Amino acid sequence: MDETVDPAALELEALTCRVPDRTLFEGVELRLGVGESVAVTGASGSGKTTLLMCALGLVKPDSGTVRIAGAALGGMSTRRLARYRRQHIGMVFQFGELLPELSPLENVALAALLGGMRRAEAYSRAARLLEELGVPGGSARTATLSGGERQRTAVARALIHEPTLLLADEPTGSLDAENRVSVAELLFELPLRRNCALLLVTHDEEVAARADRRVVLDGGRLLASELVEGRK
């Protein structure tokens, strides 16, 4: 390998995943560089979330390799995998998955504290990120925020360890039209603004259209969306 070239943020090689009664996907190949975004679409049940969970190292594929920032997840011990995941991957879920009784600041700082960051640094980083992402400060419980503000808080939490790879599973799926646009705009700015790669799963064609590249999980294969469109 040419050592002057930075490793990809994410590489999936010949990835195959089976569930008890069928092969969910097979021979999946994907390379995602820092600064790039890719949107994954596909029918319900096609395996999009499972694919993200493989990239996160929470689902072990039946065969193939997941490499994040140059290191293969497959050979790592559980402990090393947890540390590597924390260092290199941020995740945004459909419903934010925040602690509703805590303030946004506490939610974001908590992720840093759990990762071993010192308290003062965790809180100052969290405050800076929230301000940058347009979440109101103060001690209001996260439960009282709007859906858009909650999702921005979830994005801030995902960014707290300055990840190489940001994964997002239906991040706009629970939002109204206006917030959908503003959260999508925010997410797709992040690869260049924060030097990371974004792999985003969505059912929303308008959201997917913002990505640098689009791929579709179709019949167990991950295909460039142009190929799938061309077949229709």
Ligand X SMILES: Nc1ncnc2c1ncn2[C@@H]1O[C@H](COP(=O)(O)OP(=O)(O)OP(=O)(O)O)[C@@H](O)[C@H]1O
Nearer to ligand X, 20 or 138 (CB): 20
Nearer to ligand X, 42 or 148 (CB): 42
Q: Are strands 165-169 and 22-32 parallel, antiparallel or unpaired?
A: unpaired
Binding mask 42-81 for ligand X (x = CB under 6 A): x-xxxxxxx-------------------------------
Nearer to ligand X, 18 or 213 (CB): 18
CA separation, residue 231 to residues 170, 223, 225 (Å): 26, 12, 10
Tell me the closest approach of the beta carbon of residue 101 to ligand X, in angstroms.
Answer: 28
Site for ligand X in 10-49 (CB under 6 A): 19-20, 24, 42, 44-49
Q: Are strands 221-224 and 213-218 parallel, antiparallel or unpaired?
A: antiparallel
How far apart CA 19 and CA 26 sit, in angstroms, is 12
Site for ligand X in 135-154 (CB under 6 A): none
CA separation, residue 87 to residues 55, 69, 81, 82, 158 (Å): 14, 10, 10, 9, 11
Task: Tell me which residue of 86, 93, 21, 8 sits closest to 52, measured CA to CA.
Answer: 93
Nearer to ligand X, 149 or 169 (CB): 169
Tell me the closest approach of the beta carbon of residue 45 to ligand X, in angstroms.
Answer: 4
Amino acid in position 94: Q
Tell me the closest approach of the beta carbon of residue 46 to ligand X, in angstroms.
Answer: 4
Q: How many residues sit in the footprint of ligand X (CB under 6 A)?
A: 11
Nearer to ligand X, 69 or 73 (CB): 73
Tell me the closest approach of the beta carbon of residue 127 to ligand X, in angstroms.
Answer: 34
CA separation, residue 31 to residues 70, 124, 178, 218, 222 (Å): 11, 34, 32, 18, 12
| Site residues for ligand X per CB under 6 A | 19-20, 24, 42, 44-50
